[in-house]
Amino acid sequence: MFELKKTEGKARRGEFTCAHGTVQTPVFMNVGTQGAIKGALSAKDLKDIGCQVELSNTYHLHLRPTDTVVRQMGGLHKFMTWDGPILTDSGGFQVFSLASLRKIKEEGVYFASHIDGHKIFMGPEESMQIQSNLGSDMCMAFDECIENPSPRDYVQKSVDRTYRWLVRCKAENARLNALPDTVNPQQMLWGINQGGTYTDIRVDHMKRIAELDLPGYAIGGLAVGETTQEMYDIIEAVEEHMPVDKTRYLMGVGTPSNIIEAVARGVDFFDCVMPARNARHARLFTWEGAINLKNAKYITDDSPIDPHCDCPVCRRYSRAYIRHLFVAEEMLAMRLSVMHNLYFYNKLMEKIRQALDEGRFEDFRREYSEKLARRI
C-alpha cells in the first residue's frame, strides 16, 4: 500500500509496499515488455543499475510464451529471476495499436494477433486472468486506448464502457486473488483514467473510478499526439480528483523533462520505452542534455558518455569506443547504451527523491527541467 511521506507543492515523496518489496517514490519503472529489456539487459543488470520496479506486457506475454507457460514456470518473477515488484499493463494499448481487424463490443475486444493473425478475444476477465497467471504485483485494468483526436461523442461512450470494464476487472481480480492456487494472491488492481483531451470527460471519469477505492490510479491515453502543454493541463485537472492516499501513475511518459514536470504536478509512477529505444539508436541522455553518439565529433572522444555519470558503462568505456560499436553494428553497442540510459533515468528519480527529502525540489526543477530537454 502507499504511504505519503512528504510534499513540496504538488510534488509527493512516498513509499509503496507490495508482495515483493517496498518502492521509494517517485519512481521510473524499467520496461521489459516480453520479460526482458530490449538491449540485452538481464534481471541482474536491472539490480545493478538501480531499478526498483520492472514492467512487462500482458498482450505480448499472452502470445509468447503464453501466460499459462509462465504460470507453469512459477510466475513471471521466477521465470525471469526478478525478485522485485512487477507491474503488468492490461494489454489494452497493444490490442488497439498492434492488433488488426479488431472489433470492440461490450464484452471485450475481438482481434487478430499481430504475429500470425490467429483470432483472439480479450475482455476485462481475460485480462485479469492473464495477469493473475503472470503473478505481477500490480495489474492494470483493461481499457480502451482512444485515438487522439477522436470525436467527443465516441470518447464519452468509450470512457463509459471503460468504467464498466473496470467494475468487471475489480470483481474478477478479487475472485482470482481468493483462489487457493493463485500465483500472487496479493496482486493489486489499478484503475486507468481516460478521456482523450476532453478535460471535463477526464475529470468526471476520475471522480467515478476514485469511488471504487482501488490501491492505485493511472492517467492513460497521453503522449499520443497531444501537445506537451495539453498533457500538463490534463494532469493538473485530473490530479485534483485523484485520492491523496493512493499511488498515481502516468502511463508511457516520457522525457526527463516530462517526468520532472509531472512530479511537480503530483505523479508518483512513470514508465516509458524512450530511454531504451533512444539508446538503441545512439541517442543518449546526460546531465547536460541529450547527445547523438553517431555524430562524427565523437570519433576520437575518449571521455565517457557523461563525465557526471557513475554507471557501469561510464566508469569503463569511451564515447569513441561505443560509437565504433554502433558503426560496426555490434550488439554490445545497444547493451551498453541501454544500460547507461536506464541508469540515468533511475538516477534521475533518485535525485528527485533526494531533492524532495531535502525540501529543494523546486530548485532541482529550475536547474534541470529545461537543461535535460536540450540536445547538445
- Known catalytic membership, residue 45: no
Query: d(Cα 195, Cα 221) in Å, to the nearest integer?
Result: 8
Neighbouring residues of 43: CB distance < 8 A, sequence distance ≥ 6: 54, 80, 81, 82
Helices (H) and strands (E) in the chain, counts: 14, 16
Dihedral sign of CA atoms 240, 131, 90, 84 in order: positive
For cell 545493478, the residue is 48
Closest to 66 (Cα-Cα) out of 83, 85, 53, 79: 79
Query: d(Cα 30, Cα 345) in Å, to the nearest integer?
Result: 9
Q: Which helix (H) or strand (E) holds 57?
A: strand 54-57
Selecting among 89, 137, 143, 268, the annotated active-site residue is 89
Question: How much of the chain is helix, strand and coil, in % rounded to 5?
Answer: 40, 20, 35
One-letter amino acid for residue 39 of the chain? G
Beta-bridge partner residues of 103: 110
Cα separation values, 300 from 280, 294, 323, 338, Å: 21, 12, 9, 22
Selecting among 45, 268, 271, 306, the annotated active-site residue is 271
Contact of 193 with 207, CB cutoff 8 Å: no
C-alpha cell at 278: 533512444
Dihedral sign of CA atoms 18, 346, 58, 97 in order: positive
For cell 488488426, the residue is 100
Indicate the angle between helix axes 152-177 and 124-134, nearest 10 degrees. 50
Query: d(Cα 49, Cα 46) in Å, to the nearest integer?
Result: 5
Beta-bridge partner residues of 139: 88, 189
Query: d(Cα 157, Cα 145) in Å, to the nearest integer?
Result: 13
- Known catalytic membership, residue 271: yes
Residues belonging to the active site? 89, 271
